[in-house]
Structure formats: structure tokens, C-alpha cells
Amino acid sequence: MRRYLKLNVFIILLVTAKLASAHPHVWIDLRIKPLMNEQGNLLGLEQAWRFDPFYSLVLIEELDKGGPKVELEERYDQLSIEIVNNLNGVNFFTQGHILKEVIQWEKVTDFTLIKVGQQLELRFYLPLLNPLKIKELPFTYRIYDPTYYIEMLHATEEGTDSSALNLGCKIKLETPKPSFDLIQKALALDKDATSNNSQLGRNFSEKVTLDCL
């Protein structure tokens, strides 16, 4: 009995500790525009990622000083290719679901890295592997870094863009409300709590639902 008690406390402490050490260090503001065809099928997500001011500053300096001025544009392209190569494997942290079923993505296209004021922004199009019939089947997506090293939230203004959706379609964004219990359970359920397969970031991610009547 006593042993159980101790064990319990120990586990809880480990769990909270893991949580505390995993606060975000970089953040990205998202602007997402779902694209549809005339048949009412979802084709993919047009995304714009704006990096936080500090991280942007650091990257911009590197780009500026990385070589002669005339080749600046090429360096931007080079960096965008690097990022795309790194993140294609994880579908740019985008998780799509329809009725609990995981949606497959294609590799991104039309990517470009630009400077907006003092911040960097990566724009790209993430197509679905197959066009998706979403009439009466709500499609949901989340975009998050599982380790929560990067915090990814939709921009407070125009975070989602429904202008390319058919009539009768709505976008609903749910802000994360991670309760303590939920996080505790999520971490307890996380079989590889000490490995890199953490799903911590999910609990802090926004859930977006696309509903078409």
C-alpha cells in the first residue's frame, strides 16, 4: 500500500516535470486556406507560416550575411528547399482526419519563403493524396509539433480563410483547453514517455473542423 503511494507520487512528478521542461521555444502563426473543387471535394490546404520575431531575426541575419547581396534571393530559395525537405516527411506537422480516419497527404508544392517586415513567412500548398468528399462528413485538422518545441497557432486575425470554400461550408476553430487531467492522462498513456514519440504538443493544438452541408 505504502509502496503504491510512493510510486504514484513519483509517476505524477515525472509527468509534470516532463510537461514543464517542454515549453515552446519557437512559435509560428498560421494562416490556412482550404481549397475545394467544384464537385465539393476538398483538395488541400494552402498554408502560410509566420515565424516569431526572434527566430526570424536570427534567420534573416544568416540569410543576409550568407553571401553576396545579389544571391540573396537564391539563399531564400535554398533555405525554403531545406525546410521543405525536412518537413515533407511529417506532412508539415499537419494531421487530417475524417471520421477518425487518418488522411494521407501529398508532398507540398508552390513553396516560397518571403520576408514580411522583420519576419519570415513560409507559404506552401499541402495537397491531399486524393480529393476528399466532405459533404456531411466533417473534416478536421490539427497542426502541431508533437514535442511542443514549436508552438503553432492560427493567427488571431484571418487565421483561417474560407473564401475558397463552396456555399454551405463552414470553418470552426476550437482553441485548446488542455485540462490538467487530460494532459496527465495523455502523458500517462504515452507509452514512450521518455522517447521522442511524445504527443505533448497535441494537447496544446487547435482543432479546426470543416463542415459542409
Partner 1 sequence: MRKLILLLLIYPTLLIAMPLQGLNVAESNGEPVLQQEQQAAEPLANKELMTISHQWQKFTFWVIHKQREYHRSLSAKVEALSQQQSFKNTGLLLLLSFLYGVFHAAGPGHGKAVLTTYLLTQPEKLCQGVQLSFLAAMLQGITAILLVTFLVHGLGWLAKEALASVAYIEMISFLLVALLGLLLAIRGIKQLIQTKKNLQLIALSNNARFFPLQNLKTKDPKQSLALHVSSTVLGSSACNSCGQVHHIAPDQLTGRNRLQNLSLVLSIGMRPCSGAVLVLVATNLLGLWWIGVLATLAMALGTALTVTTLAVLAVQARLFAKRLLNIQTHALGRLSALFVFLGGSLILLLGISLFIGSLTNSNSMAF
Rounded Cα distance between 86 and 84, Å, is 5
Strands of the sheet containing 119-133, edge to edge, are 109-116, 119-133, 41-51, 26-36, 150-154
For the segment 155-194, give every residue that binds partner 1 (CB under 8 A): 180, 182-186, 188-189, 194
- Is residue 26 within the footprint of partner 1 (CB under 8 A)? yes
Rounded to a whole number of angstroms, the minimum distance from the CB of residue 121 to partner 1 is 14
Cell numbers placing 64: 543576409
Q: Which residue from 25, 71, 81, 173 is in contact with partner 1, where contact means CB under 8 A? A: 25
Give which of 135, 63, 139 is closest to 98, Cα–Cα: 139
Collapsing DSSP to helix, strand or coil, 53 comes out as: helix
CA distances from 194 to 18, 99, 167, 178 (A): 9, 30, 47, 21
Rounded Cα distance between 154 and 29, Å, is 5
Cβ proximity to partner 1, 117 vs 163, nearer residue: 117
For the segment 51-110, give every residue that binds partner 1 (CB under 8 A): 52-55, 57-59, 61-62, 65, 82-83, 86-87, 89-90, 95, 97, 100, 102
Rounded to a whole number of angstroms, the minimum distance from the CB of residue 179 to partner 1 is 9
Q: Are 37 and 160 in contact (CB under 8 A)?
A: no
- Is residue 12 within the footprint of partner 1 (CB under 8 A)? yes
* 44 burial via Cβ count (<10 Å: 0-12, 13-18, 19+): buried
For the segment 113-142, give every residue that binds partner 1 (CB under 8 A): 118
Cβ proximity to partner 1, 120 vs 165, nearer residue: 120
> Which residues are near partner 1 by CB under 8 A?
1, 4-6, 8-10, 12-27, 52-55, 57-59, 61-62, 65, 82-83, 86-87, 89-90, 95, 97, 100, 102, 118, 145-147, 149-151, 180, 182-186, 188-189, 194, 196-200, 202
